[in-house]
Amino acid sequence: MLTLHTKIASAADLYGRLVLPYDQREKCRLRARLDSGEEVAIFTVRGTVLRGGDLMTGADHRVVEVVAALEPTYAVRCDSAFVLARCAFHLGNRHTQVQIGEGMLTIRADPVLREMVEGLGASVEEQSAAFEPEQGAYAGASHRHDDHFLAPVPARQKIHRPGDQAPA
């Protein structure tokens, strides 16, 4: 199984693409499949978020591009900056992950949140889009593409899936 643990800034060749929704891109231990079907293991430092366009490699130096999967989201738009700020405040008050764009907010599809922001005066459009929310004020440095090692790979780490059988 291909193991990925290090982000790199650039690569001459790509071995494959790893298409993941946001909730999987924020896990520090993950078992997934490349778009070719090959299984991969990802080991990153807790708190690391993989972003669309990140390049990952492992001990064998094969490079995989992380692609943000399309997922159900809402585009929240408002007629005024005041209403947009109120929506952002109330979403943040509920610890909702939000992607901030020019004159709009993007959130995961959630009927309760939709009703809330519409009640504040926003218009909401359902969309299928890559979701790249803000990391938050305490997440550390901004998104960077420096070469750096992310996490040690445990020598005998097994990544368990819900369907795996317990050893007999």
pLDDT tens digits, 124-151: 999 999 999 998 766 654 444 444 444 5
For residue 131, give the amino acid letter. Answer: F
Query: What pLDDT, on the 0 to 100 scale, is given for residue 146?
Result: 44
Among the residues of 78-144, which ranges form H helices? 81-93, 111-119
Residue 74 CB neighbour total at 10 angstroms: 23
Q: Are strands 70-77 and 39-43 parallel, antiparallel or unpaired?
A: unpaired
Ordered structural domains, the chain, with CATH = 2-69+138-149 (2.60.260.20), 70-130 (3.30.70.790)
pTM of the model as a whole = 0.78
Q: For the chain, which residues score pLDDT lower than 50?
A: 141-150
Rounded distance between C-alpha atoms, residue 50 and residue 56, angstroms = 9
Query: What pLDDT, on the 0 to 100 scale, is given for residue 101?
Result: 95
